[in-house]
Amino acid sequence: SFRDARATILDVPLERRAIQLPNEDVDVHAARERHHRASDDEAADAALSATVGPTLDASKPVFASFVSNGFHEFMLHWYASLRDVGVESNVVVAALDAATEKICQENNVPYYSDANLQYTHEVMATGGTPLHDAAQTKKTTNDGRAFQQIGALKAGFLSYLLKQGHTVLVSDVDVTWLKDPRIWLRGAMGEAEVDMATSTDCLHASNWDIKACWSTPFNTGILYLKPTEHTKAFLEEWRVKLETTENKNEHDQDIFNRMLRAHEGVSVETVGDANEIQVKSMGEGLKLKVGLLSMRLFASGHAYFVQKLHERTPTYEPLAVHTTFQFSQARGKRQRLRESMLWKGDSDAYYNQGNFITMSDDAFPNAWNATGIENHLVAAAWFRLSVRNLLALGKVLNRIVILPKITCMCDRYWGHVLPSCSISDVPPPYDRCPADHIMNINALEKSRLEFREWSFLNNPRTPDTIKQSTARVLIGSKVQHKDELHYTMAPFAMDKEVLETLGEATERVLVVDTAVESFCAFEDAQATKAFDASASIALEAESHSCGPDGCFVGFSRPHATASYAGSCEILRREGGTDALSTLGKFYSAFAHDRNGAVAVDVKSFTSSRVNSATNDEEVVDDLLQEENPFSAPSIKAAVSNKTSTTVALSSVNETKLMTSNPKRDSARYESLHDALQGIGAKAGEDVIFIAFANHNVASMTMNWAKHLQNAASDPDSTGNIKFIVAALDVELLEALREQGVATYPALHENLNQATDHANDNWKTFCRLMISQLKDLLDAGYDAVLSDIDVVWLRNAAPYFKCGD
């Protein structure tokens, strides 16, 4: 999947191991029978080097997956999800190591094992340390050579199944099957007549509806493969490329995409009344008919857990969900499945043991339930303080915390998500937002502070004896709920007060109505130190909004409880006037950069600003102030130094555009015409290389021109290169003329300063550039536009003139 690791391994020296297909002359069934007869005979077992696997029916599709040590919990979940939807036969797992074989044997999971199908590295997990490593002590790495070997083993395993005549539906073990897909397969795949089909990372349902998802990466997490000669050839080439690639960063999915992208497809057609699969016949050299599986039926993690497309368009019932586009590695995957009540891996004790404490769903301030980065930061701070206080109450009362139902005002993504706060068709706010959007699930589990997912009390596996044994905890002089059992507790309580009020409560679930005001501090210094240490881990910050150059902003932790020892009475007197002022008592900042510098100061927030915050440019523009490390001057400095820049908050700073919109004027057009005549350019014949610049980048502009001059004088060059610089200010115009560089005045009063994404003049610059290019085209010239930090190494004019 997109940025979805296939495996995480021990940091040990790696070696390459060639993958061989199993010996096709082996009598699989006879070998399997010998294995069962001699199961207690170590000598016979050692001599068994032939294939061992379940009996598979070639007349039905095979459901397959592949697993290595460290991701066994997900394998058992994957297998259980198939059995739950009625798929109980023709299932096989490729066990890539002895530990996985053992787990399969112990849990009656049908598996395939072969001497040539062995992973040679010490695999720890796919997408993070193993779930059973609660302390997360195992060192892991993302070395691509390990991924490549797993991918090659996968391709070899699938090739073997195809050569045995099987149609295969292979999926990663972090796929959950929601419905039996076999009826759908018989209909859609029978009509489509594809060689193979793949799932997609497409996030826009509107793009799917207009057949525009083909440019999105294919996701090999779900593949449908028919045993055609074209498919077999493709799988074999895929395996070979994985074994021989010198690029250690390429994974199986990367190479899969590269192979398909190398052949232009033709004639996209749809199959099914609901546009369930789209088909392309790939170009010459590949001869493969490829299907794209519906993003609604084979849902990505974003489509299912964030967009919730299955709820927005209930006529589409997904067949499967793949836990992609998520955070916190393997634990984040499990948490999302738990939240959706899909996870099969928990014992009954997880649901029926212990007493619990949570907060009411209606506690979240309605005033903040609006889109925009400011509301998102404030809401996240509110939820995180609520979680911290619930963890403290749980520690005092020996109760397990049920996390709150979270609402997110901004999506979370590795790429650019601001200012729209959305990467899909579905705008925020996102109700029942995944916890990994504002919490680090790895850190939360590592803290050893026990918790459950927000949907715990909705889960059918949670007994009614727990669901029906609840009481509300009203903080302070709240309105009494006469129709239900309740307790009343003073706001900002010390641990002793919590015990006095709630220590004898017999109800299985306590529901706190205002968690942000529920706890202050511990009386005992050792208890304070122990809890603050655990809470510091649990609330470890993670990035939450990103731009093209990376993720820079992290959530802040609330102040440690030790900060409030002896101050609880002051909090009671001064706190509680409104939610925002309460947050101000526990935070000095709502967000900080990766180095800990304050990014959004609490003092910059007011109730009116937050309450009125909307999903527009002004909201983000408000964050770009001088005292902010993400301010425009800081960004401009980073841009000029060619360093990573926090452009996530910068490209929207466009609220003060010049009123004089760039338009064609006769003087500028005549200047361009004269300059072209000066370099001997001929309309209809010459390609004009052009760049736009001002005096701030004069040296870079000279470098651009110098390389074009050198390319033109190269002995292998086929003539002069026609190039020209559109000077945006007088300073550059004069400097270029002094150096004999062809230029013309494309002057504008607002473009004599830096023109980058962090400036008000960026759109002005873009509009002027487009207008000038149109002038050039209207005059009959072909144009090659490049930035001034492009270096032309050869005369590229013949390349651009070589055809239509």
pLDDT, tens digit, 9 for 90 and up, residues 99-109: 899 999 999 99
Confidence at residue 540, expressed as pLDDT on a 0 to 100 scale: 87
Confidence at residue 232, expressed as pLDDT on a 0 to 100 scale: 95
Q: Could you tell me the pLDDT band of residue 274, with boundaries at 50, 70 and 90?
A: low
Confidence at residue 597, expressed as pLDDT on a 0 to 100 scale: 65
Locate the domains of the chain by residue range. Answer: 56-321, 366-455+523-623, 666-800
Q: Could you tell me the pLDDT band of residue 655, with boundaries at 50, 70 and 90?
A: very low
Determine the average pLDDT of the residues in 55-61: 93
- How many CA atoms, within 13 angstroms, populate the side-chain half-sphere of residue 434? 31
Residues facing 163 on adjacent strands: none
CA angle 257, 329, 91 (to 5 degrees): 65
Confidence at residue 307, expressed as pLDDT on a 0 to 100 scale: 95
- By percentage, how much of the chain surpasses pLDDT 70? 72
Residue 409, pLDDT > 90, answer no
Q: Could you tell me the pLDDT band of residue 546, with boundaries at 50, 70 and 90?
A: low
Nearest to 300 by CA among 213, 199, 216: 199
Determine the average pLDDT of the residues in 62-76: 91
Residue 6, pLDDT > 60, answer no
Determine the average pLDDT of the residues in 778-793: 89
553-555 and 589-593 strand pairing: antiparallel
Cα 460 → chain centroid: 30
Confidence at residue 445, expressed as pLDDT on a 0 to 100 scale: 92
Residue 421, pLDDT > 90, answer no
Confidence at residue 477, expressed as pLDDT on a 0 to 100 scale: 58
Tally Cβ neighbours within 10 Å of residue 226.
Answer: 20
Q: Which span out of 17-21, 420-424, 755-759 was modeled with the highest average pLDDT?
A: 420-424
Tens digit of each residue's pLDDT (9 = 90 or more) over 284-304 = 566 789 999 999 999 999 999
Determine the average pLDDT of the residues in 30-37: 36
Determine the average pLDDT of the residues in 643-656: 27
In whole angstroms, give the CA distance from residue 242 to residue 255. 7
Confidence at residue 133, expressed as pLDDT on a 0 to 100 scale: 63
Determine the average pLDDT of the residues in 114-123: 62
Q: What is the DSSP letter of 179?
A: S
Nearest to 306 by CA among 341, 277, 276, 336: 336
Tokens describing residue 592: 């900080």
Neighbour-count burial for 29-41, b at 16+ CB within 10 Å, e otherwise:
eeebebbeeeeee
Q: Which span out of 135-139, 336-340, 428-432 was modeled with the highest average pLDDT?
A: 336-340
Cβ pair 354, 400 in contact under 8 A: yes
Residue 511, pLDDT > 50, answer yes
Confidence at residue 163, expressed as pLDDT on a 0 to 100 scale: 94
Nearest to 419 by CA among 630, 605, 614: 614
Confidence at residue 676, expressed as pLDDT on a 0 to 100 scale: 85
Task: Tell me the CA distances in angstroms from 592 to 94, 327, 439, 530, one per residue in order.
Answer: 45, 19, 15, 25
In whole angstroms, give the CA distance from residue 195 to residue 298. 18
Tokens describing residue 236: 């074999």
Cβ pair 322, 301 in contact under 8 A: yes
Tens digit of each residue's pLDDT (9 = 90 or more) over 582-622 = 888 898 887 776 566 666 677 666 555 555 444 333 333 33
Residue 117, pLDDT > 60, answer yes
Determine the average pLDDT of the residues in 542-556: 62
Confidence at residue 315, expressed as pLDDT on a 0 to 100 scale: 84
550-551 and 553-555 strand pairing: unpaired
**Class of CATH domain 666-800:** alpha beta
- The residue that leads in pLDDT, 404 or 423, is 404
Residues facing 785 on adjacent strands: 690
* Of the listed ranges 240-244, 466-470, 620-624, 662-666, the one predicted with least confidence: 620-624
Q: Could you tell me the pLDDT band of residue 173, with boundaries at 50, 70 and 90?
A: very high
Cα Rg for the chain, rounded, in angstroms?
A: 31
In whole angstroms, give the CA distance from residue 706 to residue 266. 43
* Of the listed ranges 215-229, 274-288, 456-470, 765-779, the one predicted with least confidence: 274-288
Amino acid (one-letter) located at 225: L
The CA dihedral of 189, 193, 197, 203, to the nearest 10 degrees, is -70
What residues contact residue 425 under an 8 Å CB cut-off, 6+ apart? 203, 204, 205, 206, 307
Tens digit of each residue's pLDDT (9 = 90 or more) over 196-238 = 999 999 999 999 988 889 889 999 999 999 999 999 999 999 9
Determine the average pLDDT of the residues in 557-568: 91
- The residue that leads in pLDDT, 605 or 626, is 605
Mean pLDDT of the chain: 78
* Of the listed ranges 257-261, 353-357, 370-374, 532-536, the one predicted with least confidence: 370-374
Cα end-to-end distance, the chain, whole Å: 37
Cβ pair 736, 614 in contact under 8 A: no
Confidence at residue 273, expressed as pLDDT on a 0 to 100 scale: 59
Q: Could you tell me the pLDDT band of residue 30, with boundaries at 50, 70 and 90?
A: very low
Confidence at residue 48, expressed as pLDDT on a 0 to 100 scale: 29
Out of 1.10.3470, 3.90.550, 1.10.150, 3.30.1560, the CATH code matching 56-321 is 3.90.550
In whole angstroms, give the CA distance from residue 512 to residue 474. 6
Tens digit of each residue's pLDDT (9 = 90 or more) over 366-388 = 767 677 777 888 888 999 999 99
Tokens describing residue 343: 């996870």
Q: Is 525 exposed, middle or buried (0-12, 13-18, 19+ CB in 10 A)?
A: exposed
320-322 and 493-494 strand pairing: unpaired
Confidence at residue 698, expressed as pLDDT on a 0 to 100 scale: 84
Run of H or E including 475: strand 470-475
Tens digit of each residue's pLDDT (9 = 90 or more) over 702-725 = 889 888 888 877 665 556 789 999
* Of the listed ranges 135-149, 261-275, 392-406, 734-748, the one predicted with least confidence: 135-149
Residues facing 281 on adjacent strands: 266, 289
Determine the average pLDDT of the residues in 306-323: 93
Residue 758, pLDDT > 60, answer no
Q: Which span out of 33-47, 420-434, 546-560 was modeled with the highest average pLDDT?
A: 420-434
In whole angstroms, give the CA distance from residue 3 to residue 415. 11
Confidence at residue 657, expressed as pLDDT on a 0 to 100 scale: 29
- Which H, E and C letters describe 727-774, residue by residue? ECCHHHHHHHHHCCCCEEECCCCCCCCCCCCCCCCHHHHHHHHHHHHH
Q: Could you tell me the pLDDT band of residue 36, with boundaries at 50, 70 and 90?
A: very low
Task: Tell me the CA distances in angstroms from 47 to 53, 118, 413, one per residue in order.
Answer: 16, 17, 51
Q: What is the DSSP letter of 776?
A: H
Residues facing 689 on adjacent strands: 723, 784
Confidence at residue 635, expressed as pLDDT on a 0 to 100 scale: 36
Residue 479, pLDDT > 80, answer no
Confidence at residue 403, expressed as pLDDT on a 0 to 100 scale: 97
Determine the average pLDDT of the residues in 188-196: 85
Determine the average pLDDT of the residues in 47-55: 51
In residues, how long is the chain?
Answer: 804
Tens digit of each residue's pLDDT (9 = 90 or more) over 126-140 = 455 656 666 555 544
* Of the listed ranges 119-123, 186-190, 358-362, the one predicted with least confidence: 119-123
Nearest to 414 by CA among 230, 194, 648: 648
In whole angstroms, give the CA distance from residue 525 to residue 550. 40
Strand, helix or coil at 216? coil
In whole angstroms, give the CA distance from residue 384 to residue 379. 9
